Amino acid sequence: MANHLPPSDNSILDGWVAIFFLYEFSVMLHEMDDDLSVFHRPLTELFSGSRRGLVTEHDQDFFEANGYVYGMRLLDDTQMEVLREELEVMMQPRFASDLRFYEYNSNESADPSRRLFHALGAWRVSTAFHDIIFDPSFIGAATLLLGGPIRLWHDQVFVKPALDGAVVAWHQDYSYWTRTKPIGHLTCWIGLDDSTVENGCVHYVPGSHHWGLLPRTDLAGDMDAVLSVLTAEQRDAFKPVPIELKAGEVSFHHPMMLHGSYENRSDRPRRAVVINVLLDGIESDTNDPLLGGVPVISRGEKIEGRFFPLLTETA
In a domain, 84, yes or no: yes
Contact 164, 107 (CB under 8 A): no
The model's pTM: 0.88
Q: pLDDT at position 312, please?
A: 85
Q: Which domain holds residue 64?
A: 15-311
Q: pLDDT at position 166, please?
A: 84
Crossing angle for the helix pair 136-146 and 57-66, to the nearest 10 degrees: 60
On the question of pLDDT at 130 being above 50, the answer is yes
Bridge partner list, 234: none
Question: Which 8-state DSSP code applies to residue 124?
Answer: G
In a domain, 10, yes or no: no
Query: What does each C-alpha distance from 156 to 38, 113, 159, 192, 300 come to in angstroms?
Result: 19, 23, 10, 13, 26
pLDDT (mean) for 66-94: 97
Q: pLDDT at position 110, please?
A: 67
Q: pLDDT at position 24, please?
A: 44
On the question of pLDDT at 11 being above 50, the answer is no
**pLDDT tens per residue across span 95-115:** 999 999 999 998 877 677 778
pLDDT (mean) for 163-175: 90
Question: What type of residue is 9?
Answer: D
Q: pLDDT at position 49, please?
A: 76
CATH number at residue 298: 2.60.120.620
What total of structural domains would you count in the chain? 1
Least confident of 120-129, 245-254, 287-296, 306-315: 306-315
Residue 193: which pLDDT band, with cuts at 50, 70 and 90? very high
Residue 270: which pLDDT band, with cuts at 50, 70 and 90? very high
Give DSSP secondary structure letters for 184-250: -EEEEEEESS-B-TTTT-EEE-TTGGGS-PPPP--TTS-TTGGGGGS-HHHHHH---EE--B-TTEE
In a domain, 126, yes or no: yes
Least confident of 101-110, 137-146, 220-229: 220-229
